[in-house]
Structure 1
Amino acid sequence: MKRTERRSIIYLPEDLLVEILSRVPAKSLVRLRSTSKRWNALVKDGRFAKKHYANTPKHSSLVLMVTNFRVYLVSVDYLHGKVTASAKITSQFNLQDHLSKQIDVCNAYHSDGLLVCITKDNSLVVWNPCLGQTRWIQARNSYNKNDYYALGYDDKSSCYKILRMHRVVDDITVETESEVYDFASNSWRDIGSTTEWFIQQHRSRGMYVKGTTYWLALMSEEPPFDHFLLSFDFSTERFQSLSLPLDINHQTLLGAVLSVTKEEQKLCMLATYGSDERFKSDVWIATKMESTGAMSWSNVSVDHENKVLLCCNNLRVSNYNNILHIAGEDKYVHLDHDEESKRPLLLTYVPSLVQIQQGI
């Protein structure tokens, strides 16, 4: 008589399962969700997506490169002690329409693992490359390739929003008109216009931190080019002018780029001084913000505790438009691409399980 063997299924407590799966790479979870209805439901849960994003390994260094209308995933290796850091393309993301036709991407903005993409025909689509989800956004007015965008989450209404800034240029002034798209209501609304400040094109991609996007902006296009920090709160839908570190030397400043610390999710800025051949960089972390717009900054060494800061280049130097700056290691990583292609767009990227809210 044969003995029948039964495999016992172990059901973990919900809180333990959440803790374990929140540390599994997003790409692996996407592949595994079809093996269990329980896991599939968990992956689609918004609260779990937030926890998973917060638990993303701090050593992850992924970059998206947009070139020749295609989007590539780039892995960066900056292990301490190496003479030269390296970066290589690991895969290609394919954005497709409802007919499975490949979409040409001209521009992109990143937040929470989601991309706002501007296509070759000036359409707008929100895309999660990790989940393969998309949402096409209907324009109220015609899109312009020179418009600037930002994507953020409104904690009060529990939905994502898109900020669109449109420049109107005449012989005297540059006016910035702003409008917001609400994912929940599937609608656009105007939030005002201004001639008081201006965002340069090479700094049009802001840095998103906890419901607010930040840009390095100018008070005017004419000298003395007074820089300041501009913020937009997606809950209040208001802009605010904030102060930069007082010790910044604007005379020798070659470029500056915003980033965010992974551990504490704090805004930081990499200021680069010097010439095309020799660079010196300072890293500043925002420590406190007053309601008046006064910002406290701390000058830090990213070498402390073997930490590094990865920034996508935005220096206005023609020879350096395809580099990643790894502060703390004193390294610049050049990304090779087709000589005949346009200069690539580089975006720091973290895969996420954030679901794209569909329209009503």
Structure 2
Amino acid sequence: MEEEILSRVPITSLRAVRYTCKRWNRLFKDGSFIKNHCDKEFLAIKGNGSKVCLMSINLHRNQPIKQIGKIKLRYTSRFIHCNGLVLCFLEEGNITRLVVWNPYLGQTRRVEPRSYGKKDKYGFGYDKNNNHKILRLIYDFMYNLTQEIYDLKSNSWKVLPTPSAIVPTYILGYPCVSVKGSSYFLAKERGDKAVEVVGKAFFLLGFDFTREAFGPRLELPYLSDVEDYKVLSALREEKLVVLLRGRSYTHEMEIWITDKVEPNTVSWNKFLAFNFATVTGFKYSVCVQRGFFVDEEKKVVVFSEMTAYGPHNETGGCIIREDGYLKKVDLGEEPSSDGPSVCSYYAPSVVQI
């Protein structure tokens, strides 16, 4: 009975309630209790300007998205979330610094790399022992790759062997996504002297933090042109989601969800297909690169940025169903020049950082 009552406490009040007594504190450390709670209410992460915000999502409300907490940092809109922790990227001149944040516990931790660079690529995940790790990919001007990994438990960096196969270049503007502790990247092959290999489609690479190695090339749902949009997201950190949109002059979009995903294998099912211009009556455009997430049960997609055509440039989020249903939603703040980035289904974590 006590656990059932506590499960009805709003997720934003859990930190205050857990410290009421030792017995409740032990209960809140139980991963199954947190999981059951999150099945009733879920959160998302939004980056905007100098803030990373925690958003409450309830599609039954008139205003389904509500800001409930934030951390103020100097950073671009880049971040990765994994197992309740958020890896934020702070821009200081030509240097990118790293901060790990646990929104549930209110803890932050600065991670100092072995050297500093602004265009490095990062992954974030955990191994089979639940040790959280950061992957850093460092390219020189010829796209030669150095791989480094940071273990939060040991507070140390180490250099990994470089793959002997063709090294793909991770596409700028597309963050990696963490699913089941592994990181997934959109990639494209390059040949000698960093020249793109003509005719090669984009694909996925998964990094396994237990093996500390990349898996083989993973195919997207179908071969896609270099001018197509391809944006990754995740569903409860259990499934990989990809949005595929045709060239810029088209409005047709498809969203696919994995029914199986591991660093060495992937299979896809089509989730939604729609024409954005038809759904909005040709009144709005959507920036798919700024972030989206899906609700598999209600079969809807939520975009973090939709902009009205015309002089007023009205901007906000939106919810779309395949049957043509459209609902505008207020995300609480105007987007920054880097735009908001929404990650799906953040779940609280008691992982100490």
**TM-score range normalised by the length of the shorter chain:** 0.7 to 0.9
* Partner SS for 2:154: coil
Partner of 1:355: 350
Q: Distance in 1 between matches of 2:13 and 2:44?
A: 16
Instruction: Give the 5 Å matches for 1:118-157.
Output: 118-121=89-92, 122-142=96-116, 144-155=117-128, 157=129
* Partner SS for 1:230: strand
* Partner SS for 1:29: helix
After TM superposition, give the deviation of residue 63 of structure 1 in Å: 3.8
- Calculate the TM-score normalised by the size of structure 2: 0.73
- The amino acid across from 2:84 in the alignment is G
C-alpha deviations, 1:294-340, integer Å up to 9, x for none?
53322234898632234667xxxxx9x9866746465596868558x
2:254 corresponds, among 279, 282, 292, to: 282
1:57 matched to 2:57: no
Q: 1:58 to 1:164 in 2, by over 3 A?
A: farther
After TM superposition, give the deviation of residue 356 of structure 1 in Å: 4.2
C-alpha deviations, 1:47-80, integer Å up to 9, x for none?
x23651465136636341231x222344567569
Q: Distance in 1 between matches of 2:200 and 2:327?
A: 27
- The amino acid across from 1:184 in the alignment is K
Partner of 1:5: none
In the alignment, structure 2 segments of 5+ residues that lack a partner are 273-293, 306-312
- The amino acid across from 1:33 in the alignment is R
1:187 matched to 2:156: yes
After TM superposition, give the deviation of residue 189 of structure 1 in Å: 0.8
Q: Distance in 2 between matches of 1:41 and 1:296?
A: 39
Q: 1:351 to 1:51 in 2, by over 3 A?
A: same
* Partner SS for 1:140: coil
* Partner SS for 2:169: coil
Instruction: Give the 5 Å matches for 1:155-170.
Output: 155=128, 157-170=129-142
Partner of 1:26: 11
Partner of 2:245: 272
State percent identity of aligned pairs. 30
1:71 corresponds, among 31, 34, 52, to: 52
Q: May I ask how many residue pairs the two structures share in their alignment? A: 312
Instruction: Give the 5 Å matches for 1:85-234.
Output: 90-91=67-68, 93-95=70-72, 103-106=73-76, 107-121=78-92, 122-142=96-116, 144-155=117-128, 157-170=129-142, 174-194=143-163, 196-203=167-174, 205-220=175-190, 222=196, 223-234=198-209
The answer to whether the Cα contact below 8 Å between 1:53 and 1:352 also exists between their aligned partners in 2 is yes
* Partner SS for 2:207: strand
Partner of 1:306: 298
Q: Distance in 2 between matches of 1:214 and 1:324?
A: 26
Q: Distance in 1 between matches of 2:320 and 2:176?
A: 19
The answer to whether the Cα contact below 8 Å between 2:56 and 2:66 also exists between their aligned partners in 1 is yes
After TM superposition, give the deviation of residue 181 of structure 1 in Å: 0.6
The answer to whether the Cα contact below 8 Å between 1:232 and 1:238 also exists between their aligned partners in 2 is yes
After TM superposition, give the deviation of residue 147 of structure 1 in Å: 1.8
After TM superposition, give the deviation of residue 133 of structure 1 in Å: 0.6
After TM superposition, give the deviation of residue 200 of structure 1 in Å: 0.8
Partner of 2:24: 39
* Partner SS for 1:196: coil
Q: CA RMSD in A?
A: 3.7
